[in-house]
Amino acid sequence: QSTVRSGSGQTNPSRGTYIAVITNRSTTLVIRGFMLFSIGVFLALVLNLLQVQRNVTLFPPDVISSIFSSAWWVPPCCGTASAIIGLLYPCIDCRLGEPHKFKREWSSVMRCVAVFVGINHASAKVDFANNVQLSLTLAALSIGLWWTFDRSRSGFGLGVVIALLATLSTQLLVYNGVFQYTSPDFLYIRSWLPCIFFAGVITMGNIGRQLALYECKLMSEKTHQD
Amino acid sequence: MTVRERLREKISAAFYRHGLLCASYPVPIILFTSASILACCYPLLRLPLPGTGPVEFTTRVRDYTVPSHEPQGDLGERPDWYRGPPVAYIQQVLVKAAVSPWDSTLVPVDVFRSPLGRVFSLLEEIRNHVHNDGSGVRSLEALCLQVTDLLPGLRRMQTVLPEHGCLLVSPGNYWQNQRELFDSDPDLLKTVHQHEPKGLHTSATLRDLLFGVPVKHTGVSLYSRKRVVTYTITMVLGSYDARFLSSLRARLRQLHPSVNCSLREDHMVHVHFKEEIGMAELIPLVTTYIILFAYIYFSTRKIDMVKSKWGLALAAVVTVLSSLLMSVGLCTLFGLTPTLNGGEIFPYLVVVIGLENVLVLTKSVVSTPVDLEVKLRIAQGLSNESWSIMKNMATELCIILIGYFTLVPAIQEFCLFAVVGLVSDFFLQMFFFTTVLSIDIRRMELADLNRRLPAEAGMPPPKPGPLRPREAPPPPRPSPYTITLQTPAFRNLRLPKRLRVVYFLARTRLAQRFIMVGTVIWIGILAYTDPAGLRTYLAAQVSEQSPLGEGGAGGLPPHLGVASVFPGPGGDPASTLSVLPAPAEPTPLPENQSQGHHGAPREGVPHQAQAPPLVPQISWGAEDEEGWRRLSFRHWPSLFSYYNITLAKRYISILPVIPVTLHLSPREAIETRHPQDTRHPPPPSLKTNDLPADLTLYKVAALGLAAGVLLVLLLFCLYRVLCPRNYGQNGVAHGRRRRGDLPCDDYGYSPPISEISPLLLRGHSMDIECLASDGMLLASCCLAGQIRVWDAQTGDCLTVIPKHGLRRSSSSGCWEQRDGGRVFDEDEGYPLRRRTTPRPALFEDQPDLTPLIDTNFDSQPPSHLLLTPPRDGFDFGGLVERAYLEHEPPSPGLTASYPSPSPPSGPPPQRRRSLGYIQPPVPQGQGTPDWESAVWAMELRGNLIAAGRSSGKLELWDAVEGSLRCSNEDGVSGITALAFLNNRIVAARLDGSLDFFTVDINKPLGLLQYRGDNIPPSPCYSSEDVISCQLTRSVQCAHQKPITVLNTHTHTYQVSQCGGQDGAICLWDVLTGSRVSHVYGHRGDVTSLVCTTSCVISSGLDDLICIWDRSTGIKLYSIQQEVGCGASLGVISESLLVTGGQGCVSFWDLNFGDLLQTVYLGQSSDGQGVRQLVVLNNAAIVCDFGSELSLVYVPSVLEKLD
């Protein structure tokens, strides 16, 4: 009897969800993308501020100008990237057919974001003896982040790939002179950039998955209501 | 493996014991924990409060040497930051100048023009001062702090602040230190003002920087009363040379002697600046804190199923916070002083320590069986989670240990704190939180018990039997009918967006909270950063009042207590002088000299000649000694920050000021006048002196008033936009209809309550058990078995079918059912559930039989009934039967006589072509089996009444004629619920089976084809038709417990629902008899079921109304009702649900689950609960109150329809 119940309980909502997703999938996708984009922009600005404190000027004459001290297109780029990543993760989960079950809660996501900011903070504020040490520490922290909050192989793979690509593209940009590191120590930035990218990808993926999950829930509830 | 398992077992056992301990002695353990927290936090008292205010340290000038970098053993009171050379030495020359004697011919500008003009000569003097002794020639150029570019953002200050050279600031900088520019400047004040920032500013302004004294004290104003101009020339020196400085001091003193000056010159003050939190740092910090709060919020939100959510959330946060404090305290105790910025790493520490364990603990404890003792529940919950807690803790410790080996000092320190924090957090979780949890769980169970108790008291004790003595009627529940809305997990409010936003704001009081938090943060920041110099001011106040400060000759406020090292250095000034080399040897500078001499004699003469108020008094007081104290403490950091030099975590040394007194003659003042100066109007005497202050006051007041008016207007407009409707119109039908759109309860609006006097249908002598209607007719059956048919529109009684009732009111069947029910209940292990019974007719109202017997059968004295032992219900049944037997004779007569008056006058038996079990042999064949059975269920369709009996017999009656048309005795188990649908009847039986009957009407018209469509409400069976009833399909074991409710709905599917005593609701296809879906929602019996096209609404013994989605079988939401109110339900339209309560009916909006309105039904029905509720044609509601029926027309419902 219980099997029948569970069976009937599950098939129906999934069908309903499917229908609802078909009907207004694009709008929810846009909303999700926008949310991820704004989160990305916000984080980019804040974290940029952290780095600004360390390297550029000790006393930025104006807060507003220091927020936007880097090129104007950097935050939108970060936002776009985070939107893409945040949408990509649930999509890949879906494709691989292994839905992400690990710690699907907002509190966990918040913890993840906090740790991510902490990693940035550490890279900006803590004085390391040399760049190797910095790289190693940050790498350990990033992988710890992945282990604590993600633990999916797809997440790790995607994170590594995107981090490498992003580092490469920044390097290319710098070589072409579009963008310049503000720090005189060139190696210094190169040493933390991939780790930060990796941690960022994991974080954004986490947020994106949670949003997708929330959406799913909302969707199914809506269908029930209808 | 075995080791692991053994370990696991041991841990689990230990946690179990610990849980028992905590739950057994909550108060001592909480006391112990608090004591240990306090003990661990005690070392924190010794730590300085973190602050951004500067810290001072005073040394003597005489034996000053630049402190070395290495700490040299114990240096007494020397603070640990006092190492290495300072960033800079500050030497200020404090100039006080006045034109004296004051002449009435002088214009206000003269007060400050010529005194300011003297700054250029002074500057020249200082710049050119050269000290030459044996070791070499020293000038200011060599000693001063060389600065480079200003920060890129400060281009506008380029003309004012020095670049690429000595950092030497004075008011002369306004004119690029050029006398010519000053002389040609027509409006000095304008020049000064044009560099001022607009608006409010809390930090040092340029004017403060250049003048070196607060604006108020400069005296550079047209309205200055004292006519003394004060300013400083500030030299920032990169290195210290005592001889140069003392020679400069002597030189200036010689040039411009200050007669009455007794400033002490023997102390230099070292000021150490903390790391400053700028906006740029604040933003990431605030972000991390926001993330932290979001984390805490999302974590504590998961705490559920406890008595006080907030209390537990608070306990969780307290646990984490105090564990952090404990870790800091313990680290301090063992000699580890935190060097990290506490505010910055705090959020990360919280995140690392986390609230997870606390939540896991709560969840685990809550999910233990409810019926266990609290102690055991806690212990079991703890031991269930013990392994995972220990595992997590070990993992975290490992991670932190790895972090420790990164060998980065900052990370190591963080890890150390984290380790101690984790351990203390574990300790607190185990002792503090577990205990709090146990208290909470206990409170919840107590509250649960309290809630249940009145319900239990109101219920007849199960043992004494059905005939409970009259003297103990169920105590009326005095509480009014209130409905507590349980906020559902989600509520899809179909409201306009703007209303939703406003509701959200209103519900969460977001604006208020935001403003409050903002104010608190702002005040905190103000107090923390202290821009107004409040702390300094307070310190000064304290020092002035304290005897110590006075003993110290009025100087040297005891800042930080360091100052007390030098108590009362009495006559030191002289010694300072004596150290100086012979003054004025190297620099002749005849020009300056002459000027100084020039000024001196002038000064002396008029001093006596003029009237005292006209002579500006230049006095040197203690406050001038350290005039920089009156400046904002950001003064120096901001000065240095312009050149990108940080003072954070560094210190500067401020040397004693050099006082310079200047007295200028009126002639000189007139000579230096600019032609435009005279255009300024003379000061209109003393009255205008207060003008500026007053003016600002008025300005502020006017602005405030304007802002207030604007705000009010804005709010008014907002209100008009957002709330265009008039909420106050209660009685207007239009308004009420609109009200239907508004969810009421959740937002603090109490739903309206009104009263309607219903149409009362009287006639039954006992409580009404069954109620059925098809819109036109209304059939009711009372406990006595009497069936009455009413006209639903007028309320007239059309037919009475009495006799079976008289017979069958013997409660034997009910007894059986009752016993069965009780057994079931006990089987289910819900002792508390028993207090309410689903079908009042079947269970609860059994005792109400007494009044009937008393009134109708006088032969049974109540005392007789009282004496019946409670256990033998059957005997008692027999007793009543016997009582009935005495009246037997009249009853057949009644049967016979009743059909006869009805028009068709007893259908002739020969006409009926019996198709099976038929009636023609009727009255007797029927009477015998009916003797014992009661009507348990009834349905009305057309003019046919289907009655299900406790004997398992299904009967079809003609509603108009009151004659039995058909009967079916296929089943033996009593029929507990019936559904009549077109030509099909679904009967639910006591044994949980479901029978599907087909009603065949042998009539040429072929009414069989009606399936699938709604039956026309008019009676469709004429008395000539032969009606047969056949069992088409039977489902055994549809439910595991007796089926209590059955309902059909024909709108979209042919589905019938039924709910059973097992709390399950099944949806069946009427045509095929197969089960469509199956849901569990209630903890007790399902007592009532209705459905609309989209949803199924059920109510159960647990007083919960559940709304289910019909197609998916998923619970949309549920409404918790008052105890004992949940039995009656009705649907008026697709979105309007009506429920019965104590003397009232309530209307609910189905889409939102909100209470729309409660209608009280007159006085007559007070205190009696609605047991049955039927909605007629969507226009009226029939509900039963005891033996009466109330017919209510609800006007708003009618509106709802159109």
**Sign of the CA dihedral running B787, B792, B795, B799:** negative
Answer yes or no: are the C-beta atoms of A138 and A123 closer than 8 Å. yes
pLDDT, position A172: 82
Q: How far is B572 from chain A (nearest CA, A)?
A: 41
What is the distance between the alpha carbons of residues B805 and B709, in angstroms, rounded to a whole number? 76
Tell me the CB-side half-sphere exposure of residue A27, using CA atoms within 13 A: 6
Amino acid (1-letter code) at residue B987: A
More confident residue, B67 or B804: B67
Q: How confident is residue B1040, by pLDDT bands cut at 50, 70 and 90?
A: low
Q: How confident is residue B289, by pLDDT bands cut at 50, 70 and 90?
A: confident
pLDDT, position B835: 38
Mean pLDDT, all residues of chain B? 68
B1037 touches A: beta carbon within 8 Å: no
More confident residue, B816 or B1154: B1154
ipTM for this prediction: 0.81
More confident residue, B1175 or B878: B1175
Q: How confident is residue B928, by pLDDT bands cut at 50, 70 and 90?
A: very low
Most confident of A173-187, B531-545, B729-743: A173-187
pLDDT, position B522: 84
Flag whether pLDDT at A35 surpasses 80. yes
pLDDT, position B537: 60
Most confident of B246-260, B605-619, B833-847: B246-260
Considering only the beta carbons, identify the residue of A52, A114, A140 that sits closest to B291.
Answer: A114
Chain B CB contacts of A128 below 8 Å = 408
Q: Which residue of A has its CA nearest to B346?
A: A118
What is the distance between the alpha carbons of residues B1051 and B1047, in angstroms, rounded to a whole number? 13
CB atoms within 10 A of CB B957: 26
Q: How far is A92 from chain B (nearest CA, A)?
A: 26
Q: How confident is residue B73, by pLDDT bands cut at 50, 70 and 90?
A: low
First and final CA of chain B: distance in angstroms?
A: 73
pLDDT, position A131: 77
Q: Which residue of B has its CA nearest to A218?
A: B490
Amino acid (1-letter code) at residue B1124: G
What is the mean pLDDT of the segment spanning B789-818?
56
Flag whether pLDDT at B1163 surpasses 70. no
CB-CB under 8 Å, A4 with B406: no
Please list the residues that pair with B93 across neighbouring strands: B233, B658
CB-CB under 8 Å, A8 with B410: no
Plot region of B503 (φ>0 → left; ψ -120 to 50 → alpha; else → beta): alpha
Q: Which of A181-190, B239-248, B512-521 has the lowest mean pLDDT?
A: A181-190
pLDDT, position A181: 58
Q: How far is A6 from chain B (nearest CA, A)?
A: 9
B658: nearest Cα among B254, B971, B290: B254
pLDDT, position A198: 92
Considering only the beta carbons, identify the residue of B153, B295, B644 that sits closest to A111.
Answer: B295
Q: Which helix (H) or strand (E) holds B1136?
A: strand B1136-1140
Reported residue count of chain B is 1202
What is the mean pLDDT of the segment spanning B938-950?
78
Q: What percentage of chain B exceeds 70 in pLDDT? A: 60
Flag whether pLDDT at B272 surpasses 60. yes
B544: nearest Cα among B616, B621, B648: B621
Flag whether pLDDT at B1054 surpasses 50. no
What is the mean pLDDT of the segment spanning B1163-1191?
70
B509 touches A: beta carbon within 8 Å: no
Answer yes or no: are the C-beta atoms of A86 and A51 closer than 8 Å. no
Flag whether pLDDT at A38 surpasses 90. yes
What is the distance between the alpha carbons of residues B859 and B1053, in angstroms, rounded to a whole number? 53
Q: How far is B1072 from chain A (nearest CA, A)?
A: 18
Q: Where are the beta strands (DSSP E) in B639-684?
A: 651-654, 658-664
What is the distance between the alpha carbons of residues B777 and B122, in angstroms, rounded to a whole number? 114
Q: Which residue of B has its CA nearest to A106?
A: B298
CB-CB under 8 Å, A4 with B411: no
CB-CB under 8 Å, A57 with B644: yes
Tokens of B166: 């000595």
Q: Which helix (H) or strand (E) holds B1107?
A: strand B1104-1109
What is the distance between the alpha carbons of residues B1047 and B977, in angstroms, rounded to a whole number? 8
More confident residue, B32 or B333: B32
| Residue whose pair of structure tokens reads 């013994």 in the numeric block | B1101
Answer yes or no: are the C-beta atoms of B1049 and B1025 closer than 8 Å. no
What is the mean pLDDT of the segment spanning B1007-1029?
48
What is the distance between the alpha carbons of residues B726 and A178, in angstroms, rounded to a whole number? 61
Q: Which residue of A has its CA nearest to B153?
A: A61
Interface of B with A in 286-305 (CB under 8 A): 287-288, 291-292, 294-295, 298-299, 301-302
Interface of B with A in 1137-1196 (CB under 8 A): 1151
Chain A CB contacts of B492 below 8 Å = 221-222, 225
Q: Is the pTM of this model over 0.80?
A: no
Q: How confident is residue B1101, by pLDDT bands cut at 50, 70 and 90?
A: confident
What is the distance between the alpha carbons of residues B381 and B384, in angstroms, rounded to a whole number? 5
Q: How confident is residue A201, by pLDDT bands cut at 50, 70 and 90?
A: very high
B1112 touches A: beta carbon within 8 Å: yes
Flag whether pLDDT at B108 surpasses 70. yes
Q: Tally A–B CB contacts below 8 A.
A: 137
Flag whether pLDDT at B1148 surpasses 80. no
In SS3 terms, B145-168 reads as CEECCCCHHHHHHCCCCCCCEECE
Flag whether pLDDT at B220 surpasses 50. yes
Q: What percentage of chain B exceeds 90 in pLDDT? A: 2
pLDDT, position B879: 44
What is the mean pLDDT of the segment spanning A137-150?
86
How, if at all, do strands B89-99 and B658-664 pair?
parallel
Q: Which of B75-89, B635-649, B928-942, B1138-1152 has the lowest mean pLDDT?
A: B928-942
Q: Which of B114-128, B869-883, B1184-1198 has the lowest mean pLDDT?
A: B869-883
Q: Which of A57-61, B21-25, B1103-1107 has the lowest mean pLDDT?
A: A57-61
CB-CB under 8 Å, B1114 with A224: yes
